[in-house]
């Protein structure tokens, strides 16, 4: 018997937004529990994100290394970014991020997996795409700044990413989930993956 997550919404009697930032905010809800008691739940409100596991013809994954201040580490990651435009098609956003961060385009796109990064404290939803048939884009690179100006790039065999994830050497959520998901998908065939325009209830979009 298969299992799956299901929609549910417990009653909220009051809500407040004690902090609003540039891209995200913090919300406090008074939530009614099944026993009738009311508790407060604080969580980050997030627009959502996309990430791209770009696989080349030799089975290597395009990765980048970027400084992440909250954890004080430079992490190996896959190209990713925020869903900045409400209702934007996540595929469009993913293609933009692949271009801006890696100066690469892809011919074949599939949905690899959808995840909530930290559902106990944030409503961020991420769609991770598998991109194949990748090639460099002609012309000048997109101008980057801040942390992105210091990025390093590499193409790493999938097996090495899986090994690093299981060894506790790689920690970025999208990289770890993406690599392990692709390894699993390869055992049953990539044709079983959902199309790039598959519905995404967590972040509905216009086709």
Catalytic residues: 148
Euclidean distance between CA atoms 193 and 195, whole angstroms: 7
Q: Which residues pair with 64 in a beta bridge?
A: 77, 153
The token duo for 114 is: 């959808």
Where does 98-185 show beta strands of DSSP type E? Answer: 104-116, 125-136, 152-157
User: What are the start-end ranges of the H helices in the chain?
Assistant: 90-102, 158-166, 173-188
The answer to whether 52 and 132 have CB atoms below 8 angstroms apart is no
Euclidean distance between CA atoms 174 and 52, whole angstroms: 9
String of b and e for 102-112 (b: at least 16 CB within 10 Å)? bebbbeebbbb
Euclidean distance between CA atoms 149 and 145, whole angstroms: 5
Local structure of 86: helix, strand or coil: coil
């Amino acid at each position: 018997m298969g299992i799956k997550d299901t929609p549910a919404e417990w009653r909220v009697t009051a809500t407040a937004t004690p902090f609003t930032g540039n891209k995200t905010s913090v919300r406090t809800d008074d939530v009614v529990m099944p026993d009738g008691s009311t508790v407060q739940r604080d969580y980050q409100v997030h627009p959502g994100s996309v990430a791209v596991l770009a696989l080349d013809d030799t089975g290597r994954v395009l990765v980048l290394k970027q400084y992440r201040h909250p954890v004080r580490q430079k992490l190996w990651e896959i190209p990713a970014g925020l869903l900045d435009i409400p209702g934007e098609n996540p595929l469009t956003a993913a293609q933009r991020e692949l271009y801006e961060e890696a100066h690469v385009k892809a011919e074949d796109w599939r949905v690899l997996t959808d995840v909530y990064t930290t559902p106990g404290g944030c409503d961020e939803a991420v769609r991770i795409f598998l991109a194949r048939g990748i090639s460099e884009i002609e012309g000048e690179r997109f101008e980057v700044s801040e942390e992105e100006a210091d990025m390093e790039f590499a193409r790493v065999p999938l097996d090495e990413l899986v090994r690093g994830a299981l060894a506790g050497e790689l920690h970025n959520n999208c990289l770890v989930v993406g690599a392990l998901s692709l390894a699993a998908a390869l055992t049953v065939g990539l044709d079983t993956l959902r199309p790039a325009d598959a519905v995404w209830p967590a972040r509905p979009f216009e086709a």
